[in-house]
Amino acid sequence: MSLQISSVQRGPAVVGILIALFLLTFLVVPVGQVIVVAFQDPSTGEATIINFVDFFRNSLFRESFFNSFYVASMSVVIASIISMPLAYFTTRFNFGGTALIQTLGIIPLIMPPFVGAVAMQLLFGSNGSVNLLLDEYFGFTIPFMEGLNGVIFVESIHYFPFILINLSAALSNIDRSMEESAQNLGANGLRLFRRIVFPLAMPGYVAGAALVFIKVFDDLGTPLLLNVNTMLAPQAYLRVSSIGISDPMGYVISVILVGFSLLSLWVSLRALKGKDYATVQKGGGGLMKRDLRSWEKVGCYAVVVLILMLVLSPHFGLLLLSFGTIWSYAVLPDAFTISHYITVFSTATQYITNTLLYAGLAALFDVILATAIAYVVWRTDLVGRKWLDYGATAALAVPGVVIGIGYLRTFHSVDVPLIDQPLASWWVIIVIAMTIRRLPYALRSCVAAIQQVSVMLEEAAENLGATKARTVWRIVIPLMSGGILAGFVTSFATAAVELSATIMLVAKETDAPLAYGIYEFMQSAAGRGPGAALGVIAVLFVGIGTYASHLIIERSNKARESTSIVAEET
Amino acid sequence: MKKFMTFGAVAALAMSIVSTTAMAAEGTLTIVTSFPKDLTAVFKTAFENKNPGLTVEVLNKKTSAGIKYLQETAGSNTSDLFWASAPDAFEVLKGDSLLAKYTPMAKGIPDKVGAFPINDPDGYYMGFAASGYGIMWNTRYTKAKKLPVAKNWADLKDPVYHGHVGMSAPSRSGTTHLTVETVIQGLGWDAGWAEWKEIAGNFKTVTERSFGVPDGVNSGQFGYGIVIDFFGLSSMGSGFPVDFVYPEVTTLVPANIGIVKDAPNASAAGEFIEFLLSPEGQELLLDPKIRRLPVNPKTYAKAPAGFPNPFKDKSIGAAVKFDLDLSKNRYNVVNSLFDVMITYRMEDLTAATKAIQEADAAIKGKSNPAAAKLIAEARALVAKVPVDEATAGQADFNKIFKKKRKKATDKVEGRQAEIEQEWDTMVKANYAKAKELAEKAKSML
């Protein structure tokens, strides 16, 4: 018996060790090489924790820590308010354009670097379109983009898709019979949602909320865009990237960011502990969808359209920027042109193909790794399995520039056989950096998905004689498909606009991805239009990909639904 | 998902073809640069046309990322040239012995532009264009808000500009550092810092990268920006409603190029430098999207009307005799001080400044010695610098901020975090106290 168990565990154990090696090589070692400075006495080089003592003694850092915590918590609240109606309406009711809404809902995640910031400022800045209009007609302005509240505003509309995607995936995974039983017992409306539907979708919500919290806590782009310096991530970045000075505090903050992210992940896992979210029946294809009365429909559409208008406004600004000639201190650009697109298509098409290749590969690796990690963590009792989850998630908190420097330091002396050039300057290293940086997104989705799959289904398959591998392939993965797809989409979308690590690693212009192209354009006044055009193209490609995958899900759900109805009838 | 995978596979195939052909090409010149594509593309095309069979590979990285890249890849270097604005970035590389010496053969280039030597006296890097700092403003913005034109740094201290000015931090941008240092050298340590804090009290923002300033002015996010000339000139050239002026106190600094040590294609690197310094290369700098000041005085004959000429117009960059050694000695301390006093405490500083400006406005035309004394005290508190000039210039003190110890046996007293904490405590308390005093003064009027 015991021999049998170990032979059953052998496969997962090998997979687990391989993943651990991968994480060790491409995350722990390179990052460790950089942040070791945090544990060195700056004057003698001896091992010490004095730098951490300095951190907690410093009032600026304590203030930054508090600000980051406040912003991250508030962003989770606002992001939940934005995403819940979208997720609930589209999964609960027969609603025209569900795939479209779900697709538009992910677009905010793809905020191309630099141009996205310019577009936001032109719309919501203190002299942006909205405030210019308000000032002209009502004589007041609203500081959307000022201070910590500005950061919360931008972060929420940027990262709420994490909750939307994971919550939607979880909602459509709920067993319909649970809902029916509750209804038979007399529950309906809000009570049904509060007591049955939402609790069952909890793993998805927590996965999304944890991502939002950690991501906002570690996010660099938004505070820098709003020039809020008293938060942790910008403090780390500013200290790591200044010329000539290299302050160990930058690395100390990185270590603290990693530590705190892991702590919040652990808390979120605790919150789900001791409860079982798995449901056995999968044939029903999620919640019962009901038709809306016409006035209800109007109300729902109004809410959805309002939310989408708010969250997509930055992209609308981006679109204007890409077609505009000069846009300066005005509600709209002075005139419109397509010349920026011509510039992009005549000089920058390789950036687009490179990005599709890199982000596609990275997202593919991510879902493979994430599915494997989720399986090892939740379906085996291997020693230290949780550390795979923690390790992979830690990547979320490591600033991209640290990964970039770490890769150069570790892999520049490693030559790739056959092509005879350093690994650090081979394009594959960019894919690996993206894979590592976006793995946490795919991982949370896959973990949430596997929590909703009942182990009984696998036991049944094995009792019927299926091997472990066959069970995983034919039962577990198909049942997790919604979560896997959600993971693929988030990883792909966010990898497509990754900049901070890739900019360190690009060794040849022909290998450069799109974000680098945008950066290059955005170095000069004349490059703003073409940069925005490139950004719009990135958004379009990711949008089309997402839409296609939603159509695929919808179709397969429908197919499943009809077969199950046939089964019920016979 | 299937769609993605097939597409990915096709793209992978396409890519592998692309990368093998790119590798097969011989005679590649790899340039690491912080310059925008508008500049690099012009020189790349021109140089490739002159040298058929040679490919110029341009790697665009922020100055700080470029330095890190060269430092980390030094073991098996693949880059030929480093091409960027700030002389101090080259000083860092030179200090790490990552540059190779080169003596250009090009004729007709003077020793100095303004008060600054064009080439590194040790021969590790050479200037190919000059730039100076100035003030740029958005004309629509100033018209809408009815703001006067600011022609000198001191003008920006005026309360009318409160919340309308933007600048980058010297620790992020080497050229900004030179502007900060120029004003400090011009006015003296204490008065110079006081001047900066009064200007900074009117800041809307301190941007993270130097291009953030022209970007903000172009969008109308803030009205005035303290920027390097080509940002202003090229924004005008691209059609934005902006204008630019050199203040009386400014330093012209050369933008530089240097050959990386152990460059794989050192001969092509030398030729590129010669091309850059040739009359033909110098003329390319006048392109409306580039607009940098050539270092060859003859090239100005071909410049458009109104183009500044530092070799003729001696008022540009001549007011201060810039002491390069002094600047070098306290480089890190000045950067760190600016961050602690201004960048990280922006809100406290602007609040204190606002209170002082309001008290000033209230006292105008009245005689109230007690209140006037309070305002003067508040002003002095804001201006206070935590270290004196002598300490700031000490080699030992600067070592605390240095990148790394050269040898394992090197020992430095004190830690940067420790010192910055002391400064921060003092600065924050001073700003709060100044605000309180100014508010008290105002209540007395």
Average pLDDT over residues B164-169: 93
Which of A299, A322, A345 terminates a domain? The answer is A322
pLDDT of residue A248: 80
Domain presence at residue A51: no
Confidence check: pLDDT of B123 > 70: yes
Cα A187 to Cα A195: distance, rounded to the nearest angstrom = 9
Please state which of the ranges A35-44, A278-287, B259-268 shows the lowest mean pLDDT: A278-287
Same domain? A354 vs A288: no
Nearest Cα of chain B lies from the Cα of A422 at a distance, in angstroms, of 8
Nearest Cα of chain B lies from the Cα of A204 at a distance, in angstroms, of 21
Who contacts A210 (Cβ-Cβ below 8 Å, separation ≥6)? A264, A265, A268, A444
- Put simply, the answer to whether A503 touches B404 (Cβ < 8 Å) is no
Nearest Cα of chain B lies from the Cα of A553 at a distance, in angstroms, of 10
Among residues A543, A545, A498, which one has the least CA distance to residue A351?
A: A498
Same domain? A184 vs A223: yes
Q: What are phi and psi of B60, to 5 degrees?
A: -90, 115
- Put simply, the answer to whether A59 touches B231 (Cβ < 8 Å) is no
Task: Tell me which DSSP letter residue A334 carries.
Answer: S
- Put simply, the answer to whether B424 touches A58 (Cβ < 8 Å) is yes
Nearest Cα of chain B lies from the Cα of A110 at a distance, in angstroms, of 18
- Put simply, the answer to whether A229 touches B343 (Cβ < 8 Å) is yes
Same domain? A310 vs A352: no
Who contacts B368 (Cβ-Cβ below 8 Å, separation ≥6)? B444, B445
Average pLDDT over residues B20-25: 34
> Alpha carbon A321 to chain centroid distance?
26
Q: What are phi and psi of B110, to 5 degrees?
A: -70, 170
Percent of chain A with pLDDT over 90: 18
Q: How many CB atoms lie within 10 A of CB B298?
A: 13
Average pLDDT over residues A358-384: 90
In order of B91, B125, B205, B285, the CA distances from B120 in angstroms are: 9, 5, 34, 21
Q: Where are the alpha helices (DSSP H) in B32-127?
A: 37-50, 63-73, 87-95
Interface size between A and B, measured as CB pairs under 8 A? 262
Cα A127 to Cα B218: distance, rounded to the nearest angstrom = 12
For an interface test with A, give the residue of B15, B32, B348 to mutate (most A CBs within 10 A): B15
Residues of B in contact with A251 (CB under 8 A): none
The encoded tokens of residue A308 equal 């989408």
pLDDT of residue B155: 93
Nearest Cα of chain A lies from the Cα of B234 at a distance, in angstroms, of 7
Average pLDDT over residues B302-327: 77
Same domain? A495 vs A396: yes
- Put simply, the answer to whether A488 touches B144 (Cβ < 8 Å) is no
pLDDT band at B319 (very low <50, low <70, confident <90, very high): low
Same domain? A173 vs A278: yes
Which of A322, A352, A383 terminates a domain? The answer is A322
B326-355 pLDDT per residue, tens:
887 888 899 899 999 999 899 899 999 999
A320-345 pLDDT per residue, tens:
999 999 998 889 999 999 999 998 88
pLDDT band at B25 (very low <50, low <70, confident <90, very high): very low
Domain presence at residue A366: yes
Range(s) of the domain holding residue A137: 75-322
- Put simply, the answer to whether A127 touches B141 (Cβ < 8 Å) is yes
User: What SS3 state is found at B342?
Assistant: helix
ipTM for the whole complex: 0.78
B386-434 pLDDT per residue, tens:
999 988 888 888 878 765 544 445 555 667 888 888 899 999 999 999 9
Percent of chain A with pLDDT over 70: 92
A4-55 pLDDT per residue, tens:
445 567 778 888 899 999 999 999 999 888 888 888 877 777 788 888 888 8
Q: How many CB atoms lie within 10 A of CB A146?
A: 16
Average pLDDT over residues B113-127: 87
Task: Tell me which DSSP letter residue A196 carries.
Answer: I
Cα B414 to Cα A184: distance, rounded to the nearest angstrom = 73
Same domain? A341 vs A316: no
Who contacts B388 (Cβ-Cβ below 8 Å, separation ≥6)? B189
Same domain? A345 vs A231: no
Same domain? A294 vs A374: no
Who contacts B191 (Cβ-Cβ below 8 Å, separation ≥6)? none
Domain presence at residue A384: yes
The encoded tokens of residue A477 equal 């993965």
Domain presence at residue A247: yes
Interface of B with A in 181-200 (CB under 8 A): none
Which of A271, A288, A322 terminates a domain? The answer is A322
A298-318 pLDDT per residue, tens:
888 888 899 888 889 889 999
Same domain? A421 vs A382: yes
pLDDT of residue A401: 76
Residues of B in contact with A43 (CB under 8 A): 400, 405, 411-415
Nearest Cα of chain A lies from the Cα of B403 at a distance, in angstroms, of 5
pLDDT band at A467 (very low <50, low <70, confident <90, very high): confident
Q: What are phi and psi of A155, to 5 degrees?
A: -60, -40
Highest mean pLDDT among A94-98, A373-377, A500-504, B256-260: B256-260
Domain presence at residue A498: yes
In order of A125, B146, B213, B394, B399, the CA distances from A67 in angstroms are: 21, 36, 25, 36, 32
- Put simply, the answer to whether A244 touches B346 (Cβ < 8 Å) is no
A78-97 pLDDT per residue, tens:
999 999 888 888 887 777 77
Cα A126 to Cα A144: distance, rounded to the nearest angstrom = 8
The encoded tokens of residue A99 equal 């795939």
Among residues B151, B408, B128, B58, which one has the least CA distance to residue B290?
A: B128
Same domain? A162 vs A228: yes
Same domain? A12 vs A150: no
> Alpha carbon B270 to chain centroid distance?
26
- Put simply, the answer to whether B4 touches A330 (Cβ < 8 Å) is no
The angle, 0 to 180 degrees and rounded to 10, between the axes of the packed helices B416-443 and B331-338 is 50
Domain presence at residue A504: yes
Same domain? A383 vs A515: yes
Question: Is B221 near chain A, with CB under 8 Å?
Answer: yes
DSSP strands (E only) in A87-150: none
Confidence check: pLDDT of A568 > 70: no
How many domains does chain A contain in total?
2
Burial class (CB in 10 A: 0-12, 13-18, 19+), A191: exposed
B179-238 pLDDT per residue, tens:
898 889 888 999 999 999 999 999 998 987 788 899 999 999 999 999 988 889 889 888
Domain presence at residue A396: yes
Cα A505 to Cα A405: distance, rounded to the nearest angstrom = 8
Domain presence at residue A383: yes
For an interface test with A, give the residue of B2, B4, B206 to mutate (most A CBs within 10 A): B4
CATH number at residue A17: 1.10.3720.10
- Put simply, the answer to whether A503 touches B62 (Cβ < 8 Å) is yes
Among residues A324, A289, A342, A244, which one has the least CA distance to residue A98?
A: A289
Among residues B349, B344, B418, B420, which one has the least CA distance to residue A232?
A: B344
| Interior angle at CA A481, CA A477 and CA A483, nearest 5 | 115
Cα A490 to Cα A185: distance, rounded to the nearest angstrom = 38
Q: How many CB atoms lie within 10 A of CB B407?
A: 8
| Interior angle at CA A255, CA A250 and CA A257, nearest 5 | 90
For an interface test with B, give the residue of A148, A243, A355, A542 to mutate (most B CBs within 10 A): A243
Residues of A in contact with B62 (CB under 8 A): 241, 503
How far the first Cα of chain B sits from its last, in Å, is: 72
Cα B23 to Cα A420: distance, rounded to the nearest angstrom = 11
Q: Which helix (H) or strand (E) holds A422?
A: strand A421-422
Cα B139 to Cα B142: distance, rounded to the nearest angstrom = 5
Question: Is B312 near chain A, with CB under 8 Å?
Answer: no
Nearest Cα of chain A lies from the Cα of B345 at a distance, in angstroms, of 8
Interface of B with A in 3-22 (CB under 8 A): 3-5, 7-8, 11-12, 14-15, 18-19, 22
